Structure 1
Amino acid sequence: MKFLRLSAVVATTVIAPAALLSPFATTATGAESSRPAAVSAPDVSIPLSEEADRITILRILEYPNNGRGVRDAAQRALDGTAQDMRHFLEVEQHRVRLDDYRVEASRLTESGGPDVREAALAALKANSAEAVRQFIEVGQYRARHSDYAVAVSQAISIGGPAVREAGKAALRKDTLQALREFMDNGQHAARYQDDRVRVTQIVSVGGPKVVADGRAALRTQDAYEVRRFIEVGQYKSRFLDDRARVVQISAKGGPAVRAAAKTALKTNTVKSVQHFLDVAQHDARAKDKAKEKAKPKPKTKPSKTKAKAAKKA
């Protein structure tokens, strides 16, 4: 059987085509940290037989990160003649893979992070197969590492204690895998812990409705429900607590207080209810007191003792 000696570049792309990764946030396989090694495999021999060529092409098709061009060309070769398969292995796969690389680089100029976009544009601007290949196989990973590091720093700057701790730990490891793990999973788990602490703090100073709804959110052990209470639920609950306070104050107040409370409850907005609690009730109470003081004092009849004393005098 005849054997064909292939160069390192040809052999590597036949056996292990480089992964075409998706944008900044995610990858097609979830193994973004496993950066393809630089092309450095020794020369290998591929047997010149139709069956061996078919097996090699099928192995290429098994890689999920192949671009559409490689997949389509490989399938056409399998559907064709022995010469078509040999032509694919020796010539066409390398051409269409570079086309796929260019397509991927173009996509990353739109969907990647800032550094990935800049590196992709530079590779495309160079307008050479080597520059595009270098970006896809090496450069994009370096750029993605930088983008993730920036994203982690941003999360730390606005996060709670748990988020800051987890983010700093990822930065200390300083690997693409650690940074991506924090962005994809770690920050969310840490934020849930921070949110639970925040709800507990809100409950500790809240009214009856805030306490009941906050505890209910915590019991769900659902990150969405806990976050929803912080962003929405606590305000609705506090409004109901404030309305209840207005009703209680009105029941014990004078005419002006009752009138002001009635107006606030009828308007039924957070602003009107809060204004009554902060300002209007005090103004109304002052009016009630002033009105009470302005009332004429009833004349009191002299006591019998004082009357008898006056007659004797």
Structure 2
Amino acid sequence: MKLPRVSAVVAAAVLAPTVLFPSMASAADNPQPAGVSGPDTASKGAEDQGSGQEEQDRAEVRRILADKETGPKVREAAQKALAGTAADVRHFLEVELEENRVPDNRLRVVQISDGAGPALRKAADQALRGTAADLLAFLKEGQFTARAEDEDRAKVEAILADKETGPGVRQAAQKALAGTAADVRHFLDVEFPKQRADDNRVKLSQIMAAGGRAVREAAGRALDGTDEDVVKFLKEGQFIARAEDDRVAVLVILADKNVGPGVSQAAQKALNGTAADVRHFLEVEFPKQRADDNRVKLSQIMAAGGRAVREAAGRALDGTDEDVAKFLAEGQFTARAEDEAAANKPALQPTRPAEEPQTGTGAQPAAQPAALTTTTGTSTGATSTGTTTGSTTAGTTTGTTTARSGQLAATGTDGLGWEAGGAAAAVAAGAALVAVSRRRSTQS
């Protein structure tokens, strides 16, 4: 019983080295560092970390290239870095980016100042003379502040260029432009609305003083209202009221009994049209047609007048429209007075030759000069007979003796209207055509 047990112990002793030694040999072939269990991953993690940083750097460079604001110098350096190693990319981001931004910023400031307003040009010049930080500050803030100032000044200059700008606004605007940016902004925000309201009321008062009844009434209502009422009158109300006054003015012209046919016809046509037609008649047609009618009337007076009237009328006809109007208002009466004075001047008496003693029957009286008397009708007479020692007396004369020479001139144009009759009208009509034609050829 004891032998088999001993044999088992011996067998275990013999087999133990065989089982243990291969395990120890395997451990000797694969040594492990102290304190580490499991596989080694340290070197692989470092490699992965380096690869991730490079990718982030390259992504940042690509983002810079995608920005439209990136300048040419930065763009060129970024493209070169992307074509290089991870170190090239990192060097670009840490060094080259800021170095190349300075010339790019300088170029951009120069481009902004080109064609800019005075304030923007001044700010850009100051930035160009400064540091890289000054350039960056101008691009981020300064340019916008200066641009706003230029825009404000441009608005003020536009206000001054407007011919409708009143004196109050004009004076305040000029003062603001001579000041600072704050002065300009204050003018636009405060002074301009206030001064414009005052100028509008002054302008309304001027229109009111020169307008007709309808304009005066509408202007008075606006003047008693708000600033908005005044503006509304200036933009709309005055024209509506003036159109009403214009029609009244045309009706007054037509009611004048001395108005000529040309003016009358044009006035009727205007009344049948628009407010613009009525205004055109008053400003253009009325003066023109009145001038033509005046020349026609002058021609009628000239055809029926005496010598002085004809001469004065001829001089006026060869002159301007003002000369014609002056003749009708004054000259014709002065010339007519001259003709009347000439007509009323006593006729010269013939000089009687010295009487000579005569014998025999009576002698015939000397014949009177025909130029001294004008006789119309029938004259009968007989020379007395008998013995006389003096002159023979003319016989009895019967008939009618007409007025002295110049009587036609003395009558002038009394009663001569636009519808003269008889031969005078025919002559006047022809002369009128000549008068108007002469006037228009002179004006051309």
The interval holding the TM-score normalised by the smaller chain is 0.5 to 0.7
Tell me whether 1:157 sits opposite 2:255 in the alignment.
yes
Match of 1:172, as an amino acid?
N
Q: Distance in 2 between matches of 1:192 and 1:110?
A: 28
Count of paired positions? 208
**Aligned-pair distance for 1:100?**
1.3
Q: Classify the secondary structure of the residue corresponding to 1:247.
A: coil
Which residue of 205, 212, 219 maps to 1:113?
212
Q: Distance in 1 between matches of 2:327 and 2:198?
A: 50
Aligned to 1:145: 243
Q: Classify the secondary structure of the residue corresponding to 1:65.
A: coil
Q: How many percent of aligned residue pairs carry the same amino acid?
A: 37
Q: Distance in 2 between matches of 1:168 and 1:299?
A: 77
**Uncovered stretches (5+) of structure 2, i.e. residues with no partner:** 1-145, 351-383, 388-444
Q: Distance in 1 between matches of 2:215 and 2:266?
A: 24
Aligned to 1:166: 266
Match of 2:260, as an amino acid?
G
Tell me whether 1:239 sits opposite 2:340 in the alignment.
no
- The structure with higher relative contact order (CA 8 Å, sep 6+) is 1
Q: Distance in 2 between matches of 1:124 and 1:233?
A: 47
Q: Distance in 2 between matches of 1:140 and 1:71?
A: 24
Q: Distance in 1 between matches of 2:176 and 2:189?
A: 12
Q: Distance in 2 between matches of 1:149 and 1:245?
A: 48
Which residue of 107, 117, 130 maps to 2:228?
130
Work out whether residues 162 and 191 of structure 1, in 8 Å CA contact, stay in contact via their aligned partners in 2: yes
Q: Classify the secondary structure of the residue corresponding to 2:279.
A: helix
Q: Classify the secondary structure of the residue corresponding to 1:49.
A: helix
Which residue of 58, 74, 78 maps to 2:157?
58
Work out whether residues 210 and 234 of structure 1, in 8 Å CA contact, stay in contact via their aligned partners in 2: yes
**Aligned-pair distance for 1:74?**
1.3
Alpha carbons of structure 1 residues 142 and 219: separation in structure 2 relative to 1, 3 Å: same
Q: Distance in 1 between matches of 2:248 and 2:326?
A: 27
1:224-303 equivalence runs, <5 A: 224-247=322-345, 250-251=347-348
**Aligned-pair distance for 1:300?**
5.9
**Aligned-pair distance for 1:63?**
0.9
Aligned to 1:186: 285
**Aligned-pair distance for 1:69?**
1.6
Q: Distance in 2 between matches of 1:123 and 1:56?
A: 29
Structure with the greater alpha carbon radius of gyration? 2
Aligned to 1:261: none
Q: Classify the secondary structure of the residue corresponding to 1:54.
A: helix
Match of 2:216, as an amino acid?
R
Q: Classify the secondary structure of the residue corresponding to 2:345.
A: helix
Q: Distance in 2 between matches of 1:247 and 1:223?
A: 34
Q: Deviations over 1:5-26 (max 9, x none)?
A: xxxxxxxxxxxxxxxxxxxxxx
Aligned to 1:84: 183
Q: Distance in 1 between matches of 2:307 and 2:207?
A: 52
Q: Distance in 2 between matches of 1:154 and 1:58?
A: 46
Work out whether residues 167 and 182 of structure 1, in 8 Å CA contact, stay in contact via their aligned partners in 2: yes
CA RMSD of aligned residues (A): 2.6
Work out whether residues 157 and 164 of structure 1, in 8 Å CA contact, stay in contact via their aligned partners in 2: no
Q: Classify the secondary structure of the residue corresponding to 2:263.
A: helix
Alpha carbons of structure 1 residues 224 and 252: separation in structure 2 relative to 1, 3 Å: farther
Work out whether residues 114 and 147 of structure 1, in 8 Å CA contact, stay in contact via their aligned partners in 2: yes
**Uncovered stretches (5+) of structure 1, i.e. residues with no partner:** 1-46, 254-297, 302-313
Match of 1:181, as an amino acid?
H
